[in-house]
Structure 1
Amino acid sequence: MKDWWQINFPKGRQNLIITDANGYPVRIAYGEKGTGKPLVLLHGLASWSYNWRHIIEPLSQYFRVICFDAKGHGFSERPVSRREENGHQVIELERIIQALCDKPPVIIAESLGALVSLALAGQSPHLIDRLVVINAPIFTEKLPHWVMGLLAQTPLEIIQTIDFLRLAYVFAPILRELIAIERRRVLFDPSILSEEDVYWITYPFIEIPGTLVKVAEELQIAVKEVENLQAKKPNMLTKIQNNLCAIECPTLILWGDQDSWFPASHGEKLHQNIPNSRFQLLHNCYHDASTGASEVVKAEIIKFLQDTNFC
């Protein structure tokens, strides 16, 4: 299989060293395509830059597209022997923007990436010029899938043992099939997910040690957040929700009309809480909009940026 980074980016996969939220240097994998104003693509949990495969090329006709893997995801470095704290993604996103962008960029973000972007836009409005969020878990009160719950309840020591024994690699065909089944369930048209898609979507879990551990750790953080939210204890979700009114940049909210993980009513509520925002339903779209509704997503993004005089 040809290297995806080499095919899609003129310089292939590049590496950036940032200081993470714990104060350690960490290597971030990213790719760039196009010239002009910076536009950053941010994926969701258990995903990586490959999720943006359908819109990198068309957006690069207008912008300098920067696509990066969040810490511990895809081809970016995984922390070793240290626990993450909630909110680390926001700090690391800020440092990546400061390192790669010569001016405030457009941020286009999906799912957990959208939540992280909303957090940064609320606390540091000057860092983002335009914001597009897709199916954000901003008002969720539970993990949306039983597999997430299972990983969140499994002690990390067990998952680390699975990782150490390379069981994902040993049982790669089975794992690929299971992940493919679940990924097709978040697509309105499951047939669009090709065998090549399945190969690349599952690649980090099978070939790169530490991926499953990182995802499980993030899910355990999320569970604790939801518990604190329900118990009315201090939590990041409430903080992000309270800061929505501070978001100054023009914001586009895209939402799958059939997203079973986070309902469209959450998108409408988000729109009501961000002053300079517009809300657009994506028809016949489930949770994975960047794959399942890529043509409409691309068109809505370009229209929004043209309407707000960014391109």
Structure 2
Amino acid sequence: MQDWWQATFPKGRQTVTIQDASDRSVAIAYGEKGTGKPLVFVHGVASWSYCWHANIATLAQHFRVICFDAKGSGFSDKPLQPEQANHKVVELERILQALCDEPAVIVAESLGALVALATVQSQPTLCDRLVLLNVPIFPKELPNWGMRLLAEVPLGFVELADQLRLTKLLDPVIRQVVYALREEVIADPAHATIEDVYWSTYPQIEFPGTLTKLAAEFQLAAREIKRLEQGQPNLIRSVQEKLSQVTCPTLILWADQDRWFPSSDGEQLRDHLPHATLQIIPNCGHYAAGGQPEFVNAAILSFLHSESDSPGLKR
């Protein structure tokens, strides 16, 4: 298939080097399209920039759209050392500082939306407006059996499977399983195309280290949720307690058929944010950006245009 980066972005795949949360130099893959105010997409776990494939062209007609692969995901570097609980927050801050010359619009989905909230709390000047899709802000457990399985497997076993390139050997089987599982996150099966599954699973199958980093992230998330349940200090509780500090205009989009996190979580989040509105996405599963892209794109543009016309806000 045609290189997705080259087909999507005028300059194809680019790279920016940042210092990660452990002060290691890491290369972050990104692409950009359009001109004007920066609009930065932040993907969730087990994902990469491709997850925004149905949103880029539309929003790039109005903004300088930037997609990046978080460290450990997609085409970015994958150092296998242990990570701090807040490493994604620190790294998002540094990516925004490296790629944006003014406060950005941040559009973030799933775990990426939780990271975006924490980033805006710690560095509010980096964000002008915020769009959050299906945020795991009040989680009870990892929402998918595959995530829970990887979180329980000793990391050494996963690393061995990675080194033996088992994902590459089992390529057809993995893609078929993922295709069958897409119905868990996409309400309309028409959006689960062969091309979508091919690109969604591309990094896990093609790049050594991706599966290990994915398992490590699930294990880190499982520990954070357990600490949340036990009342111990954790990143999720910190974000919850500081929601009132997110003062930028915020749009919350929540899928009506999200099997992972109920829309009542979206209502509760809206009630804790000072300047937030909530829209429910009809006939949509957890993967909203690809499951209902027309609705998502229209909602984002309506929100951003209405806010840019408000007093004191930039266009």
TM range (shorter): over 0.9
The answer to whether residue 253 in structure 2 is matched with residue 254 in structure 1 is yes
**Cα distance in 1 for residues equivalent to 2:109 and 2:35:** 23
1:248: how far off?
1.3
> What does residue 44 of structure 1 align with?
44
Question: How far apart, in 1, do the equivalents of 2:83 and 2:178 lie?
Answer: 25
Shift of 1:72: 0.6
Question: Cα RMSD between the aligned structures?
Answer: 0.8
Which residue does 2:147 correspond to in 1? 148
Which residue in the other structure is 1:60 paired with?
Answer: 60
Q: Does 1:12 align with 2:6?
A: no
Q: Given that residues 123 and 246 in structure 1 are in contact (C-alpha distance below 8 angstroms), is that contact kept between their aligned partners in structure 2?
A: no
Q: Counterpart of 2:302?
A: 303
Runs (4 or more) in structure 1 with deviation over 4 Å come to none
Structure 1: runs of 5 or more not aligned: none
Deviation string, structure 1 residues 64-103 (Cα, Å, up to 9, x no partner): 00000000101011013x1011010000000000000000
Give the letter for the 1:117 counterpart: A
Moved more, 189-198 or 21-30: 189-198
Counterpart Cα distance in 2 of 1:92 and 1:135 = 21
Give the secondary-structure state (helix, strand or coil) at the position aligned to 2:186: coil
Q: Distance in 1 between matches of 2:194 and 2:115?
A: 30
Unaligned runs of 5+ in 2: 309-313
Residue 126 of structure 1 deviates from its aligned partner by: 1.4
Letter in 1 for 2:51: N
Separation in structure 2 between the aligned mates of residue 83 and residue 277 of structure 1, nearest angstrom: 35
- Aligned counterpart, 1:185: 184
CA offset digits 1:264-296 (Å, max 9, x no partner):
000000000000110110011110101111000
Q: Is the 8 A contact 1:249 1:276 kept in 2?
A: yes
Indicate conservation of the 8 Å contact 2:15/2:29, yes or no. Answer: yes
The structural deviation recorded for 1:127 is 1.2
Please state whether the residue corresponding to 1:272 is helix, strand or coil.
Answer: helix
Partner of 1:272: 271
Task: Tell whether the 8 Å contact from 1:122 to 1:245 is kept in structure 2 after alignment.
Answer: no
Distance in 2 of aligned mates of 1:177 and 1:291 = 19
1:76 is matched by which residue type in structure 2?
S
Q: Give deviations 1:7-31, integer Å, cap 9, x for gaps.
A: 1000000001000001100000000
What one-letter code is carried by the residue in structure 1 that aligns with 2:243? L
CA distance in 2 between counterparts of 1:211 and 1:298 reads 29
Match of 1:265, SS? Answer: helix
| Deviation of 1:184 (Å) | 2.8
- 1:11 is aligned with what amino acid? K
Deviations along 1:109-164, one digit per CA (max 9) or x if unpaired, are 00000000011112221110000000000001111011111000001000000000
Whether the aligned pair in 1 keeps the contact of 2:184 and 2:259 (CA below 8 Å) is: no
Distance in 1 between the 2:221 and 2:19 partners? 23
Identity %: 53
For residue 185 of structure 1, report the CA deviation from its aligned partner.
Answer: 2.1
Q: Normalising by structure 1, what TM-score?
A: 0.98
What is the SS of the residue equivalent to 2:187?
coil
Match runs of 1:18-29 below 5 Å: 18-29=18-29
| Partners of 1:180 and 1:46 in 2: CA distance | 15
Whole-Å separation in 2 of the counterparts to 1:65 and 1:136: 21
Alignment length, in residue pairs? 310
- Paired with 1:44 and 1:210, the residues of 2 have a C-alpha distance of 18
Three-state SS of the structure 2 residue aligned to 1:129 is: strand
